[in-house]
Structure 1
Amino acid sequence: MGWLEPLLDRIGRNWTSAVTPVIDVISDDTLEYTYSSFVAVGGFDWNLQVAERRGCVAVPWRLSRVHMLATSSGKDLYKWRSGVNVLKRNSIRLAEVWLDEYKKYYYERIGYDLGDFGDVSDRKKLRDGLSCKSFKWYLEIYPELFVPGDAVASGEGLMNDPQLGAGQCVDSPAKPEDNHKPVGLWPCHGQGGNQYWMLSKEGEIRRDEACMDYAGSDVILYPCHGSKGNQYWEYSPETSRITHGSSKKCLAISQDRKKLVMEDCNLAESRQKWKFENYDPSKKL
């Protein structure tokens, strides 16, 4: 209660303000109070997804006069019965209208599978008529946001030894609830998504704000902190090895091919061979 009035007050003072509520949570089961740690400025990511879109997917959604029904426990959410992924289609339309030359960073994540996203000419006219700033302007006032174009390498990190068949790719969701979980593997599918990773100038292997982190046990995802340490990695295209900076161990695929492990570096071990797409050493610090 009472969250709307302050927002309307800010808009009343300056109609160009973009406002958002930060609402603490009281559990409907236990009445437990949970402080909200949501940071509004971090609401944007290059997947064009909303972080708090979660919960039971086996229930209908009602949005104004539009009715949507989840048809499975995951991937088919937000699809019409025709099979069209509504969220993906709308995200492509958003990218076409608002992201300017940066839209390619979203398209890379979906394997440039744009499909038919309809006519956006009216949306572009609306943007022009409102004299909206370029997307570059928003990136310049939000310097904390990692820009994929600054990455030394990006794309799918995959096993490049032919003995391993089609190759296993690092595959892991990167939502806040996925932090501290072991990073997994899955056959490479070439569609980006959970297999799209970036190697930053600072030596981070990251999915947006989540970085691969090794502290002596499993290789996990952890919020990127920018302090190197457990999140510092070195990639050598000559040896196809990814070395952990502090432990000096090499990233490898486990014997059962289900997860990532760290091992003493061995140039004869094919499980330690990796290939990063779109590697550009000129971008290294």
Structure 2
Amino acid sequence: MMRISCMRNLFSALAVAAVFLYVSSVQRKLQTQENQLYQAQQNLSLHNDLLLNKLEKLEAQMHAMEERNRNVKTKKQPVKKLFPNSHLFQRWTVELSEEDQRKAEDLFQKYGYNAFLSDQIPLDRELPETRDHRCIEREYAQNLPTISVILIYLDEALSVIQRAVCSIINRTPAHLLKEIILVDDHSQNGFDYFSFTEDLKTQLDDFVRSINQKHPNLVRMVTHSEHRGLTRARISGWKAATADVVAILDAHIEVHVKWAEPLLARIQDDRTVVLSPVFDKVNFHDLEISKYHATAQGFDWALWCTYERFPQKWYDQNDPSQPGKSPSVMGILVADRLFFGEIGTLDEGMQVYGGENVEFGIRVWLCGGSIEIVPCSKVAHIERAHKPYVHDILNTMKRNALRVAEVWMDEYKTNVNVAWNLPRKDHEIDIGDVSERKKLKERLKCKPFKWYLENVYPQLKLIDDILGYGVLQNDLQTSLCLDQGPLDKNTPILYICHYLYSQVFQYTADGVIYIGPLKSHIYRRTLCLKDPGSGKAPELKVCLDAKKLKEHIYWDFKQGHAIQNRDTKRCLEVSVDQNGEFELFIGECSSQHWKIMYVIRDF
């Protein structure tokens, strides 16, 4: 009887335990469903606010249209085109009233893209699918690192920033998106007394407040009290970030579906890899999306950004959805937050804009990391027609490039001088104090730049055969320089010396005279000076094509002497007519004297 009683008690305990476990399971499911319902309600609330915003705009537009219709005469008159030479209206062929044309053109000049149209289209618009089918099918783990998205802006259109924020919230899993940080590098677009519109900061504050009511503390703002430049703005955003991974983006972007997951998964595998998504182009005039295919990102010896081919083994795998190695990044980057700090963030000595991304890319490779482009991550980026806030990009870029060369390029740094048509020594440009960056280089035990050229970027052709470079002048008239002339003519001319790219030449050890900007890549289509063999006019020809056709592109030249073609024995000459006008021609040699601005080796 005692055994039976014990068995009954045991069965009773088991039954109670089973009921308790069942009830606990039901409670957990209910809690999960409540959380999911709450998240859905939050998203629905944000969607409703956006929808209400669009309806209010639509109502205002309808009232405006009704008012215009009342003022239209019985017979509609064609609207005058006020800005036929505008880059905007040459591509954006829509019928607008004269008032709207003025607004659209004013906003275009202000921002470099069609902000007038941006204000009309939805903040949560759909983007066309541009990913490879393998990207669409790929699934990712749930326990990925969290991400802080940093958006940098200076005098950006409000609707463009709002669209960027909405796309990030709508297309990034909520459990991965820790925060969005907006960094304002001292914007100046204040109250508009003509249209009585509030300034950017006031309107953006209201927008951020409405987002944070539904997603507490999701969006934060960092504001500079003075203009500090793109590099320092990015560093400000990084310092404010708290997630595992930082994505540093421009504010004139929209992210695609599943943009974050492939980036986070790759960094979860290797925290030392720095990544870039693939940019789709948003047209500046109609804001439509143009698909871009994945390419590596590089630079030339002047440190201007260029697109590059991936290493051949990336193409051999026949899977365009796989990440590919890249020599550099073009500014938009994603990295482990702590690794970004360990490797030295960005060089705060870089001014305003240009070259900072190349410096970072070189440093990552030399100092223990690597760079990859991730094709399954797509970000749509507005390509401006002009950058309204950068007025002297050439001088800033030149200064920044020389700073990068001094710190990282070792014995190859003079290539940058040649590319910028500067003397190889004593260029007299202030590049700032680089002592801390050189200490960082030593502390991180970084590899020499030669390793980078041999192992990471062999496409960057060494400039080791140039004897002289710069402007070419004939002693008959030293105020005139040899010039490329009109681009569509392929005929060089004499022109008043201005020392810019169209007057920059390089004379090489094999006797070729290259013209125009220095093309530092092995597959670039550089132009060369050519004697056509007949007639008086010299010509310019793509060097690779001329060599294949065995045309007359080789010249004998010694500093201060004649420039004579090796094949035809004719010389590059200058004549003076009765009116004192100077003309460039090829003909019989008359012992004229030419000089090139800078000499690397005697010739």
State TM-score, norm by structure 2: 0.34
Aligned counterpart, 1:158 = 472
The equivalent residue for 2:411 is: 101
Q: Residue 594 of structure 2: which of 274, 277, 281 is its match?
A: 274
Matched position secondary structure for 1:159: strand
Shift of 1:97: 0.9
Structure with higher helix content: 2
Aligned Cα root-mean-square deviation (Å): 4.5
Q: Is the 8 A contact 1:202 1:226 kept in 2?
A: no
The structure 2 residue matched to 1:90, chosen from 396, 400, 404, is: 400
What letter is aligned with 2:393?
A: Y
* 1:20 Cα offset (Å): 4.7
Q: Give the letter for the 1:212 counterpart.
A: C
C-alpha deviation, 1:134, in angstroms? 1.0
Q: In the alignment, which residue of structure 2 is the partner of 1:27?
A: 283
Which residue of the other structure, out of 54, 59, 64, is the alignment partner of 2:388? 59
Q: Which moved more, 1:44-53 or 1:221-230?
A: 221-230
Alpha-carbon distance between aligned partners in 2 of 1:128 and 1:180, rounded to the nearest angstrom: 51
Aligned pairs (5 A) from 1:245-260: 250-252=571-573, 257=582
Number of residue pairs aligned between Structure 1 and Structure 2: 248
Equivalent positions of 1:234-249 (< 5 A) are 234-237=555-558, 240-243=562-565
The equivalent residue for 2:453 is 139
Any idea what the Cα deviations from partners look like across 1:154-211, whole Å, max 9, x if unmatched? 22242343x32x25333459xxxx698554544456x686544323345433343223
Whether the 8 Å CA contact 1:158–1:188 is kept in 2: the answer is: no
Distance 2:573 2:408 in 1: 40
**Native 8 Å contact 2:564 2:572 kept in 1:** yes
Deviations along 1:111-150, one digit per CA (max 9) or x if unpaired, are 44333322111111222222222112222234443322x1
How many percent of aligned residue pairs carry the same amino acid? 29
- Structure 2 counterpart of 1:200, which letter? T
- The CA distance in 2 between the partners of 1:197 and 1:268, in whole Å, is 23
1:169 and 2:519 equivalent? no
For structure 1, which runs of at least 5 residues remain unmatched after alignment? 61-68, 71-76, 80-84
Task: Give the whole-Å Cα distance in 1 for the aligned partners of 2:278 and 2:574.
Answer: 41
- 1:91–1:33 distance in 2 versus 1, CA, 3 Å: same
Distance 1:158 1:213, change over 3 A: closer
Q: Which runs of 5+ in 2 are unaligned?
A: 1-254, 308-353, 355-382, 520-525
Whether the 8 Å contact between 2:555 and 2:565 is mirrored in structure 1 is: yes
State how far apart, in whole Å, the 2-side matches of 1:12 and 1:252 are. Answer: 65
SS in 2 for 1:156: strand
**Aligned position for 1:44:** 299
Among 524, 528, 531, the residue aligned to 1:212:
528
- Residue number in structure 2 paired with 1:232: 553
Higher relative contact order (CA 8 A, sep 6+): 1
Q: Distance in 1 between matches of 2:294 and 2:566?
A: 31
State whether residues 468 and 600 of structure 2, in contact with CA within 8 Å, keep that contact through their aligned partners in structure 1.
yes
Q: Distance in 1 between matches of 2:286 and 2:265?
A: 33
2:556 partner letter: Y
SS class of match (1:275): strand
CA contact (8 A) 1:155 1:195 kept: no
> For the structure 1 residues 168 and 230, does the alpha-carbon distance in structure 2 shift closer, same or farther, using more than 3 Å as the test?
farther
Give TM-score scaled by structure 1 length. 0.62
Q: In the alignment, residue 236 of structure 1 is paired with which amino acid?
A: F
Supply the AA of the counterpart residue of 2:527: C
Which amino acid in the other structure matches residue 594 of structure 2? W
Looking at CA atoms only, which structure, 1 or 2, has the larger radius of gyration?
2
